Amino acid sequence: MCRKGGYVMVFSPLSLLQMLRKFGWKEESWFLPLASAIEGVTAAEAAWRPDEHTNSIWQILNHLNYYNERVLEQLQGKEPAPQTITNTETFGPPGDPDDRKGWEETLRRTRQIAQGIEEALEKLDDKDLEKEGFLEKLAAWIMHDTYHTGQIVLLRKMQGTWPAQRE
């Protein structure tokens, strides 16, 4: 429930999830969405790491793509294949600073998955969220993406590639 202009707006769990996903992917609100965080990032910037123990932007996006594809499959009513790699392995290598085409493919995949998720969320109804644990899983997934978006912004600030006008 939310007060706005003298009236009360009531959100269903589904409409709240849809709104939070929109904020997490493409619409700026109190925090920056992932689409804005990766905007303008080059392959060299995506592959940069402050040290060998820190994931690069490229690795973070690989990780998000892996789990977001699994969420998309579930939203489409499919059962994802059993996870055959560890969480750490989902990040993959840091990326090649000279592999512009590889980075562009990673970005294309990210956007394609995001579009699929948006379409799948629009097709859901409140009854779809009644499966045990599904609503909680989706809420945690949205927070997971937001957490990693913050890491991407921090890495960009550390490397000095964060646009000054955003400050």
Structure tokens belonging to residue 160? 């000095």
**pLDDT reported for residue 133:** 87
Distance in angstroms (rounded) separating the CA atoms of residues 81 and 58: 24
**pLDDT reported for residue 3:** 57
Reported pTM: 0.90
**pLDDT reported for residue 79:** 87
Structure tokens belonging to residue 121? 């969320």
Distance in angstroms (rounded) separating the CA atoms of residues 65 and 63: 5
**pLDDT reported for residue 7:** 61
3-state secondary structure of 78: coil
What are the mean pLDDT values of the chain's consecutive 10-residue runs (167 residues total)?
A: 62 88 90 94 98 97 97 92 94 97 98 96 88 89 96 96 77
**pLDDT reported for residue 12:** 87
